[in-house]
């Protein structure tokens, strides 16, 4: 009788141990997709986001690139997928009928970046028509990056100043910018 109880206890213990091990293995396998990272977007992550084409990119392609969404909202006409992590919010709106991307927004905040820009630097700069690589070389990574189907808006923020740069998605050139600052 005691031997049978010991065997039952071993089976129960093995089952309790098996579930966490299986969950860990499932997470390890699912980690192979391009995840939305909590750190500043890598060049690969940015390329994945700007490669999304309205009315062309499919639901299956989004799943393949980014994995399962964190939140799903379903209505009669559309499905909204939300991907979230620290400092990042990525929403994809899918057409309910054909499963194609209808719209998307991507926002990444970089709390580590802080740029103090002086008015003279902005007034004398040649920001208009500057390409993305030159912009990063001159000012570094933006504190906030917003991406939509038609444009990107990068913000460089400090306690006293904000430079907002609007980038054309097709040419990857600065098409406009605004600069605000407060005197201390």
What pLDDT score was predicted for residue 45?
75
Contacts of 30 (CB under 8 A, 6+ apart): 67, 68
Tokens 């939140």 — which residue? Answer: 71
pTM for this prediction: 0.66
Residues with pLDDT less than 50, the chain:
11-15, 17-40
What pLDDT score was predicted for residue 138?
84
Q: What is the pLDDT of residues 42-88, one digit of tens each?
A: 556 778 888 899 999 999 999 998 899 999 999 988 999 999 887 88
3-state SS of the chain is CHHHHHHHHHHHHHHHHHHHHHHHHHHHHHCCCCCCCCCCCCHHHHHHHHCCCCCCCEHHHHHHHHCCCCEEEECCCEEEEEEEECCEEEEEEEECCCCEEEEEEEEEECCCCCCCCCHHHHHCCCCCCCEHHHHHHHHCCCCEEEECCCEEEEEEECCCEEEEEEEECCCCEEEEEEEEECCC
From the list 136, 117, 135, 118, the residue with the least C-alpha distance to 127 is: 135
CA triplet 82, 85, 87: central angle to 5 degrees? 110
Q: Cα separation of 70 and 84, whole Å?
A: 7
What pLDDT score was predicted for residue 92?
95
What pLDDT score was predicted for residue 20?
41
């Amino acid at each position: 009788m005691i031997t049978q109880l010991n065997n039952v206890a071993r089976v129960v213990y093995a089952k309790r141990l098996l579930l966490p091990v299986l969950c860990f293995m499932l997470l390890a396998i699912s980690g192979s997709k391009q995840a939305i990272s909590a750190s500043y977007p890598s060049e690969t992550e940015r390329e994945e986001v700007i490669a999304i084409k309205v009315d062309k990119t499919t639901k299956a392609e989004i799943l393949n690139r980014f994995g399962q969404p964190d939140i799903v909202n379903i209505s009669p006409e559309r499905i909204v997928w939300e991907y979230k992590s620290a400092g990042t919010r990525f929403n994809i709106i899918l057409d309910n009928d054909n499963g194609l991307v209808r719209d998307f927004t991507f926002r990444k905040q970089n709390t580590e970046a802080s740029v103090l820009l002086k008015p003279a630097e902005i007034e004398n700069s040649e920001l208009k028509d500057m390409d993305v690589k030159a912009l990063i070389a001159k000012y570094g990574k933006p504190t906030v990056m917003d991406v939509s189907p038609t444009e990107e808006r990068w913000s460089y923020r400090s306690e006293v100043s904000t430079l907002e740069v609007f980038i054309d998605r097709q040419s990857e050139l600065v098409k406009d910018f605004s600069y605000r600052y407060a005197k201390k």
